[in-house]
Each structure stands twice: as structure tokens, then as C-alpha cells.
Amino acid sequence: MNSSTHHFKQSQFVVSDPFWGRYMELVRTKVIPYQWEALNDRIPGAEPSYAMYNFRAAAGLEKGPHKGPVFQDSDWGKWIEAVGYVLAWQADPELEKIADEAIDIVCASQQPDGYLNTYYILTGLDKRWTNLMDHHELYCLGHILEGAIAYYEATGKDKLLKAMIRYVDLVDKNFGPDPDKRHGYPGHEVIEMALVRLHDITRDERHLSLAKYFIEERGKQPLYFKEECEKYGNKFYWADDPNGFHYYQAALPVREQRDARGHAVRAVYLYAGMADVARKTQDPTLLAACKELWQSVTERQMYITGSIGASPHGEAFSFDYDLPNDTIYGETCAAIGLVFFARRMLENVIDSQYADVMERALYNGVISGMSLDGQSFFYVNPLEVLPEASRKDTSKFHVKTERQKWFGCACCPPNLARLLASLGSYAYTTGDDGALFMHIYLGGRFTHSVNNRTINIKVDTRYPWDGEVTITLSPESPVAFVYALRIPGWCASYTLTVNNKVVSEKPDRGYIKLSREWKAGDTISVNFDMPVRVNMANPKVREDLGKVALSRGPVVYCMEEADNGPNLHLVSLGENRDFQIEYKPDVLNGVAVITGEGQALNDEWPEHTLYQEASPMIYASRRITWVPYYAWANRGPGEMLVWIRR
């Protein structure tokens, strides 16, 4: 464990990756402008957000009551965070002007004591902090704080940051271990991560202590949420649910939580915050709890796409190895939260298992949440879809066959925007003596510094369609440090050269550590073999037994009706393992398409018969086409299947 490891800021990275660059440009040119319209209730036909209206009303700039859900402030927080990241790599005076004006409005709503939450400002400040469990008060603070930090880091403008620090200080005065303070914590976590990030800037120990307090207090007896319900007459909605207070990860103190339970987004946000605090405070028992929860999530409750949260009821984890493909919730935000958690584990422990999961989620269950044109979004990310079932089977109503416009409860779209806009900060973490650990093979230009010497790094790659990555180092002057490369868990063979000389170092916990005195023009070249991989799941996963899923590199593939016709359930892979891989620039914005000989069950069957004596299953050869899972449902509604019969 090394407390000095840390990720980098988006501002240190200019992404020019053919794959991710397109997503980042989409966020900049489509998602952020669209969301600004949405936050201002200017999308025709869409349910209004009321987010900017609420701030104006709270600031006294407009008359009217609070409108919309209690958590709408957070949408603006995610928006300004994404704006900050974008401005870090692309100057945009017009966008910055809009953001500054929005910040003026938000700050104008701040109360004299620092409080800033439109719901309670507009419904009665006397009731603030009376429903931490369900009213997302500290959640909204967390998101706006993250936004304030991102905007400050990108622009140097600290108006919003200062306002939020005042708000944090007010919270700190009211929450904590002192007997006269409230012993509460948020019903929806996120503020923990935000406070740790704030501490990076302020170095004010109160900010770290507050994050630590929210984590340590959680789940302690007597239970704060229970007492809060009794004291303020709040309703506990999960009384009849087997999860109960686990819904909020609040049934037990965090170190006693062995299984990831409850609302999946909240869970991974908490775990990410725990990992942050564990690193900052060098707390081995808290880190051990993170590891155990990591295992619960990734070794027993994660889909092959990196999606998590199997149950639509409570958008929650269900139980070990329960991974239904067709009734899954698998919220986009939960996969995003898993990326947050993964990077924070890497900041504690260099071990490629964390980066493998981060990569798995990024290339699959995260970006499946957005259409290729950046205009529509999935909350739910199924691995098996039958449109008729989505229309007629109530237990699959949440499984949409087409991405939705950004309406109503809009958590996932802005969350995607802030993650994608900051993707540079997930590529590397640092270790001792300027060591650089490369986790995600993202093309672009990156600046690092060792012993006050700036090192420019250029990464060229066509990843994930091609396994070749070329890294050119340009230090001001020769400098010794370790450049470490992750060998992905999916990769069975690779070649690695430095300045065209083959390197024989073996990986340590998944990383090849190249310790050199690096000089300008040194080139690291790695080529990961990317054959099609046929995957199986642990046989405890009932839903996947006797089935396989294809992947290539980090990308999980699926069959779609658009390529393979309907009745995908009749198709099976058979014995063939000879696949053709072709990059098709015109298909789905450019993807490597996999084709191969599979088989299809002969489904001839006597009329008027539902059951009969079993006869052999007769198969005919069938050409199968697979496309990347993340790109499914971009060609109209239809069947889709990740796990196909062997």
C-alpha cells in the first residue's frame, strides 16, 4: 500500500484516441449542450428537469415552489463537473460563459450560513437534515462539490469551490462525533469521494475527517436512519424487503459488511469513498473491508460486461452467482461507480485485477448506456433481450429495447458525461519515485513529472480493435523511473519491445515494470494478441451454464437480430473455434466484426403440439455474426444475446 499513489488529472492528458476520443467529443459537442437545455426545461416533449429553475427560485430570481424530485441539484453538479473536464482539454469560451452564469445563479441561492440545497431552501430550512436517508441532501452537496473541484481545476475559477467549501464547513459544524452534533450520514453516498478530493486541494484535515466520519458512522447501532424515522416521522420504504437497511449499506458498520448488498450505485460509491479514505488515512482494516467487498462484487456478482446490480427491485445486488441476463438491472451508473471503485483500489494496491475490471466495465457495461450518436441512453443494460418480452412481461418492462431520450430521473446520462470527459484520469496511477502504472491503453499526449522534470508521453494505438500500443517518451532530459504496463487478464500472449529490443521482464501482479533511464524518443511498443476468446462463467452462475460468450481484447460481443435474424436462442456455437475478425469502418461507427460458423437448431415441430417425446436435436450449420456488446441497439429494436448455447 502506498499512500502517495494517485491518479492524474484530466488536464494532464489530451486524449486523441480513435475510440475514446469520439466519445469525448460526443460529450463535448452533443451531451453537454443537450443537458444544458434539459436543465433549463427547454427540451420539447421532455419531462422538465427544473434544476436551473430551482436554483433561480432558491436565489429569489424567480417566484415559485421547488419542483421535481429532491435530487435535481445533483444533475447540475454532474453537468458542471463534465464542463470542467471538457474545458481542461478544450478551451470553449462560450461554454465557459454559460457555466460562469450558471455558477452565479447557484451561488446566489446559497444561504448566509453556507447552506445550499434548493429543496429545503424552498420548502423550509427548518426541516433540513431531517431525512438524510431518502432526501439526497448530502448527495447533492457531494455532486456539486465534485463539479466545483473539476471546474476550479480546469479554469482556476474558485467562486463555486469557495461556496461549496463554506457549505462543507457548515455540514462539518453540524455532523460529527461530538455529542451535540448530528450522528448521521448520507442515504445516497458520493460525498465521501468528493470530500477526499477536496482535501487534495485544501489539505484541510476537517475535510478528510468528515469523509472518514460519514464512513465510520455508517451502520453503527443505534441506527441513525431508524432514529431519524422515529424522530421525524419519515417512512422506511424497505421495511418488508429482505435487504432492509442494507438497501443503503447501513445495516452494519462498513468493516462488518462482507457482501455487497442493496442499491448497487450507492454501494460502489460508498466502497470507492472507503478506498479513498483507506488510502489517505493508511487504514489497513478499512482497506481490507474494501478488498472483501471488491471480491463480493467482482467475483460473485458481476456480469461479464462489468454491469452490476442484478435486481430491478431496489436497483440492487441480489445474491451470489445470481446473474440473470434478461431481468438484470445493471444500471449504467453502477458500472460507472465500479470504475470509480476500481481506480481507487489501484491507488491503494497495484494489482491488475482492479484495472481489468475497470477496463471490462468501460468497454462494455458503461458505454452500452449511450447510443453511438450520444443522443439516447440506457439505464438498464441487459445481456439478453426479446422485444416481445419487454413489451408483454412485466418482469422485463424495465428492459428497454431502445435507448431513451434524457428525461425525468436523469442520473445516468450526466454520469456518463462526467466519466467520459475525465477518462484521461483513469489511464495511469503513480507509484514511488515517479513510477508510472499504465492501466488503460488510451491514445493521446500525457504529461508526467519526475524530480521536477517534465516528461511528455505520446501513446498511439487503435485499441481495442488492435492490440498494438506505441508509447513514446520525451523527458526534458534523461530520467530514471519505472514505466509499468498492465498485461490485461484477457491476454494470453504479447510481444513487448523497448526501442525495438524485445523485453523479457515478467509481469508482477499483472504489470511489467520497465525500470530504465528514459531519454527523449525512447519507444515502448507492446502488441497484445487479440484472438477471439470464448468465455464461460463459473458453473455456479445458473443462467450461463452450458453457454459461452465471445470477447476480443476487452470487448464483449453479442449477437443481434439485425445481423442474425430472430430466434437467437436457437443458435449455438458448436465446436468451431475458427473466427474471422474484420474491422468494418462503416458498421456501428467502426467496429471489429466477428463472424464464424456456428449452428442453428432445426425447429421443425409438429403443429398443435407443445410437448413431445424427446428426439435428437438436429442442427444445421449457420454463419453467425457478432458485434461489440456496447454497440447493440443502434440499428432499431430486435433480439440480442451475449451468452449463447455451446
Kindly list the residues in this chain that would bind a second copy in the complex (CB under 8 A).
Answer: 241-242, 295, 298-300, 302, 304, 311-314, 318-319, 322, 327, 353, 386, 388-389, 391-395, 492, 533-542, 545-546, 548-549, 567, 569-570, 601, 603, 605, 608-615, 617, 645-646
Q: How many residues does the chain have?
A: 646
Give the residue ranges of DSSP H helices in 361-510.
Answer: 387-392, 412-421
Min CB(165)–a second copy separation in Å = 42
Nearest to 341 by CA among 369, 362, 315: 362
Q: By three-state DSSP, how is residue 395 classified?
A: helix
Residue 265: C-alpha distances to residues 94, 179, 247, 474 (Å): 33, 31, 10, 40
- Chain mean position to CA 432: 27
CB 645 → a second copy: shortest distance, Å?
A: 6
Judge whether 290 counts as a catalytic residue.
no
Minimum separation from the CB atom of position 275 to a second copy (A): 18
Report the C-alpha gap between 558 and 571 in whole angstroms: 12
Give the residue with the Cβ less far from a second copy, 525 or 572. 572
Shortest approach of a second copy to residue 548 CB, angstroms?
A: 5
Matching residue, cell 469521494: 193
Is 117 or 311 the residue whose CB approaches a second copy more closely? 311
Half-sphere exposure of 544 (CA within 13 A, CB side): 22
Residue 395 or 589 having the CB closest to a second copy: 395
Which of 228, 315, 331, 543 is an active site residue?
315
CB of 242 to a second copy, least distance (A): 6
Phi, psi of 539 (to 5 degrees): -60, -15
For residue 534, the one-letter residue type is: V
Closest to a second copy by CB, 413 vs 467, is 467
Give the ranges where 222-366 is alpha helix by DSSP (H).
Answer: 224-232, 264-281, 284-300, 332-348, 352-360
- Least Cβ distance, residue 303 to a second copy (angstroms): 9
Give whole-number Cα distances, 465 to 343, 363, 592, in Å. 23, 11, 6
Terminal Cα distance for the chain, rounded: 42
- Count CA atoms within 13 Å of residue 110 on its CB side: 21
Euclidean distance between CA atoms 197 and 182, whole angstroms: 23
Nearest approach in angstroms of CB 8 to a second copy is 29
Catalytic-labelled residue, pool 107, 140, 290, 411 = 411
For a second copy, give the closer residue by CB, 124 or 546: 546
CA 494, CA 505: separation in Å to the nearest integer?
A: 12
Integer Cα distance of 609 and 292 in angstroms: 51
**Rounded Cα–Cα distance for residues 516 and 326 (Å):** 50
Comparison of 11 and 327: residue with beta carbon closer to a second copy: 327
Q: Residue 167 CB, nearest distance to a second copy (Å)?
A: 37
| Residue whose CB is less far from a second copy, 166 or 300 | 300
User: Min. distance of Cβ 248 from a second copy in angstroms?
Assistant: 17
- In angstroms, give the least distance from the CB of 295 to a second copy: 7
In the sheet with 453-461, reading across from the earlier edge strand, the strands are 13-15, 444-450, 453-461, 468-475, 522-528, 494-498, 501-502
Instruction: Work out how close the CB of 315 gets to a second copy at its nearest, in angstroms, rounded to a whole number.
Output: 11
Instruction: Give the residue from 132, 125, 129, 167 showing the smallest Cα distance to 148.
Output: 167
185 in Cβ contact with 216 (< 8 Å):
no
Is 120 or 238 the residue whose CB approaches a second copy more closely? 238
Nearer to a second copy, 91 or 545 (CB): 545
- Are 316 and 309 in contact by the 8 Å Cβ rule? The answer is yes
Contact 445, 14 (CB under 8 A): yes
Query: What CA–CA distance (Å, rounded) separates 317 from 300?
Result: 10
Is 229 designated active site? Answer: no
606 grid coordinates: 409438429
Q: Which is nearer to a second copy, 184 or 314 (CB)?
A: 314
CB 417 within 8 A of CB 78: yes
CA-to-CA distance for 6 and 288, rounded, in angstroms? 19
Nearer to a second copy, 59 or 534 (CB): 534
CB closer to a second copy, 78 vs 547:
547
Kindly state the smallest distance separating residue 618's Cβ from a second copy, in Å. Answer: 10
Element (H, E) at 131: none
How far is residue 564's CA from residue 311's CA, in Å, rounded to a whole number? 29
Question: SS3 letters for 142-210?
Answer: HHHHHHHHHHHHHHCCCHHHHHHHHHHHHHHHHECCCCCCECCCCCCCCHHHHHHHHHHHHCCHHHHHH
Rounded Cα gap, residues 362 and 576, in angstroms: 29
Residue whose C-alpha cell reads 426545461 in the numeric block: 41
Tell me the catalytic residues.
315, 411
